[in-house]
Amino acid sequence: MIYAQSPLAIGLFISFVLLVLGLSFYLGRRTTSSDGYYAAGGNVHWFTNGIAFAGDYLSAASFLGICGMIAVSGYDGWMYSVGYLAGWMVALFLVAEPMKRLGKYTFTDALDSKFNSKSIQLMAAVSTLVVSVFYLIPQMVGAGTLVTPLLGLPHYAGVIIVGIVVTIIVATAGMASTTMVQFLKGGMLLIFSTVLVVGVLVRGFSATPENDGKAYHEFITLQATVAADGQLVLGDPSYTVPANWRDSAFAEAGMVKLVKDGIDTIWYLQADGQGGYLLEETLFQVQLADGTRLYNGAPASEGRFFPVGHMKEINMGGETVLQTGAVGPLAYLRTLQDSTIVLWGTKHVRTAEGYYSIYYQKPTPGTQILRPGLRFTVDNATAGEKFNFFSLMLALFCGTAALPHILIRYYTVPSQAAARKSTLVAIAAIGFFYILTLFMGLGAMTSGVINIMDNNMSAPLLALSFGVILFAIISSIAFATVLGTVSGLIVASSGAVAHDLLDNFFGLKMRDKTKVLAGKISAVVVGIIAIYLGIVFEGMNVSFLVGWAFAIAASANLPAILMLLFWKRTTAQGVAASIGVGIVSALGLILLSPDMYVRYGLLPSDAPISFNSPAAISIPLSFLALVVVSLMTKRVEVSEEAVEGASA
Amino acid sequence: MGHGPAVKLGKDNAAGYKAKIGITMFFVYTLTYFIFVLINITKPTLMQIQVLGLNMAVVYGIGLIVFAFVLALVYNHFCTQAENRLNK
């Protein structure tokens, strides 16, 4: 733990949660019909809905994940922002108005509007559930990440708290309260992110950044020579060097372990070019055989594990300076581009004592930070690496217009024009926010605030560097971000179960009140599943996890939506086959990916496929399935009246 | 429970025009986006070229976001005009 709890932050946070719950109960008293529960009565104003869209979309992935990824990987993290925003053009130009015209409560309604097909009802409902659950995982991981520094609780406690609060919200009021929560949260996120970026620009760069008034830890470098007997001789005699330093597992990783005052320290070895070494201080965490965790050789409570992120050399307008003072947005980017920034590499070492994660300094020119290549391999990339990158960018582009919790928001406005205008507002708000993420991420990278073991907290910790009040506000908004997005996803999931499966597919023909009750029970069940998965996936970058959700959504839903709208030969069987093939292929490729092998505790190199993003294979497969099956079957269209009659 | 919109929608005579303009703009934006991705995949060094004092990667990335908003405004303008003209 590198930060202490603040009573003010806790007070603000609890007040915010109580406000959200109060609003939910208030709106819940007015929600008794299906229209109210699933579509907020269809009378939300387009501007409100547009900001609520932004609230829905700017989830934990955007606020916590992207900022964190930019903070440690520079421009590559921001590529997610570019891809996420591009996806809205598919939604605006191709999907917004037809979805409004065809659907009622869920996106299954739109797909099934011309067929009244049991297979579409089943497959689309399953798809909604799978995509929603995958999208829920990163939100829950983000929740756990936030609650740890705020309340001092373990990750799982955060996940459980969010799960319970959100389930209460959804089970009380559905889409009406979700829309209001998203509107408030989306607006506050935009306002306070702007405040944070203005703060970053006014502060400018400093070689010794202060963090909430505390001086930045000065990482030291030791000089060492090698004696005739092979022993390492240090200039500072207060450190003890083990005699077998060359034969240890640390040496294989280019490190050496020294002891000072009875406490272990680990140093990154670099040849000094004259036969000796420079030893650079590292950060490390070790899990001992008995399960104890030590941070830089001591328990977390001793605070030896420091926040990081600093400039090695600041070059402004051709001159080297120690600090810049206030700068404009373009000057900020130019200065960073011309300077050298210390990023952090990671090495893992297993010894008889335990498992070490060691973080060492990697001075990196700004020119490399502001271009792709630190996370994704683009220079001299293999065909597989190029494919992986292309596949991710394809998933981000195609995923937005296929996300169930985004699609259902088109049913909360009164007209097609309102659907279009709310999408326009969403694009403006989300695009503006994504430009802010570049400055927030780079601000975190250089302000000495990064918790290198969990970069998801970079944005809130950047706020903490301006004082505990901004930290409390930003953390509360981030928590609301998670609450809002999770509640939207759970509404979509409960709609899939109660409306698409129970009512339409199984034909239970429930009364309106029973249908709402079924939706609420479904919300509780989905909430429990989300809590479990949020605990399992602890520690993964939330934006990376959302990339998977986008890939599944794009593969399962988008081909069916687009072909239904633009290809007259599309049949019900084709739509169902497309969804099925999209889910199975995307999910299958993810489960066999190198990153999932790490979660299984296996070596990523043993994974049967070498890439992590499945979209470039699963989307074409889904399209192909739709075309082939549609050509093999006959289109039977049902009139709207017949559909109404059949399912009324 | 039936399908169709939750609220009663009138006939939209501009739907065909809006679909056409939407598809055209979709292709324009898609092309711009995929050129960006392709440069990164095939010629990443191009992203280091300086434009306005910043490298191409930053300028193109911010440009894609701003271009999206401009296209969305243009699209909404033409759609609203068509609705006013054809749905009197």
Secondary structure, 3-state, A288-319: ECCCCEEECCECHHHCCCCCECEEEEEEECCE
- pLDDT value for A27: 67
ipTM of the assembly?
0.91
Of B6, B25, B37, which is closest to A411 when you measure between CB atoms?
A: B6
Contacts for A382 with CB less than 8 Å, ≥ 6 apart: none
Amino acid at A60: A
Res. A226: pLDDT tops 90: no
Centre a 10 Å sphere on the Cβ of residue A48 and count the other Cβ atoms it contains.
20
Centre a 10 Å sphere on the Cβ of residue A601 and count the other Cβ atoms it contains.
6
Res. A193: pLDDT tops 70: yes
**CA distances from residue A348 to A251, A264, A357, B47 in whole angstroms, order as listed:** 12, 16, 5, 33
Q: Which pLDDT tens digit goes with each residue over A352-389?
A: 888 899 999 999 999 999 999 888 888 888 888 899 99
Buried-exposed string A96-105: b where 16+ CB fall within 10 A, e elsewhere? bbbbbbbbbb
Please report the residues numbered 629 through 648 in chain A whose beta carbons come closer than 8 angstroms to any beta carbon of chain B: 640, 643-644, 647-648
Q: What percent of chain A has pLDDT over 90?
A: 34
A499 or A553: whose pLDDT is higher? Answer: A553
In whole angstroms, how large is the CA radius of gyration of chain B? 19
- pLDDT value for A579: 95
3-state secondary structure of A390: helix
All residues of chain B having their beta carbon less than 8 Å from the beta carbon of residue A431 are: 65-66, 68-69
The series of mean pLDDT values per 10 residues for chain B, 88 residues long, is: 56 87 95 95 90 91 96 94 87
In whole angstroms, give the CA distance from residue A84 to residue A74. Answer: 17
Question: Which of A73, A92, A408 to probe by mutation at the B interface, max B CB count within 10 Å?
Answer: A92
- pLDDT value for B1: 43
In whole angstroms, give the CA distance from residue A254 to residue A257. Answer: 10
Q: Best-predicted range by mean pLDDT among A159-163, A247-251, A281-285?
A: A281-285
Helices (H), A412-467: 416-446, 458-464
Contact A42, A105 (CB under 8 A): no
- HSE (CB half, 13 Å, CA atoms) of A556? 31
B44 contact A CB<8A: yes
Of A81, A90, A334, which is closest to B53 when you measure between CB atoms?
A: A334
Mean pLDDT of A630-636: 87
Between A194-203, A341-350, A408-417, the lowest mean confidence (pLDDT) is in A408-417
All residues of chain B having their beta carbon less than 8 Å from the beta carbon of residue A648 are: 1-2
Between A351-355, A388-392, A575-579, the lowest mean confidence (pLDDT) is in A351-355
Q: Which pLDDT tens digit goes with each residue over A392-444?
A: 999 999 998 888 878 888 888 888 888 899 999 999 999 999 999 999 999 99
All residues of chain A having their beta carbon less than 8 Å from the beta carbon of residue B55 are: 337, 367, 370-371
- B57: closest CA of chain A, how far (Å): 6
- pLDDT value for A621: 97
Q: Which of A494, A437, A418, A429 is nearest to A53 (CA)?
A: A429
Please report the residues numbered 309 through 348 in chain A whose beta carbons come closer than 8 angstroms to any beta carbon of chain B: 330, 333-334, 337
**Segment holding A580, helix H or strand E:** helix A572-591
Q: Which of A481, A359, A445 is nearest to A57 (CA)?
A: A481
Sheet holding A310-316, edge to edge: A293-295, A283-288, A354-365, A340-350, A310-316, A319-321
Q: Which residue of B has its CA nearest to A430?
A: B65
- Place A102 in a pLDDT band, splitting at 50, 70 and 90: confident
Q: What percent of chain A has pLDDT over 70?
A: 92
The distance of Cα A378 from the centroid of its chain, to the nearest Å, equals 22
Res. A36: pLDDT tops 70: no
B43 contact A CB<8A: no
* Axis-axis angle for helices A512-536, A155-173 (nearest 10): 170
The answer to whether the CB atoms of B54 and A333 lie below 8 A apart is yes
Please report the residues numbered 19 through 38 in chain B whose beta carbons come closer than 8 angstroms to any beta carbon of chain A: 19, 22-23, 25-26, 29-30, 33, 36-37
**Mean pLDDT across chain A, nearest whole number?**
85
Task: Compute, in degrees rounded to 10, the torsion defined by CA atoms A518, A520, A521, A527.
Answer: 140
All residues of chain B having their beta carbon less than 8 Å from the beta carbon of residue A43 are: 7
Between A24-33, A318-327, A574-583, the lowest mean confidence (pLDDT) is in A24-33
- pLDDT value for A543: 73
- pLDDT value for A582: 96
Q: Best-predicted range by mean pLDDT among A28-37, A96-105, A115-124, A482-491?
A: A115-124
- pLDDT value for A645: 45
Q: Which pLDDT tens digit goes with each residue over A14-33?
A: 887 778 777 766 766 666 66
Strands A263-271 and A277-281 turn out to be: antiparallel
Res. A163: pLDDT tops 90: no
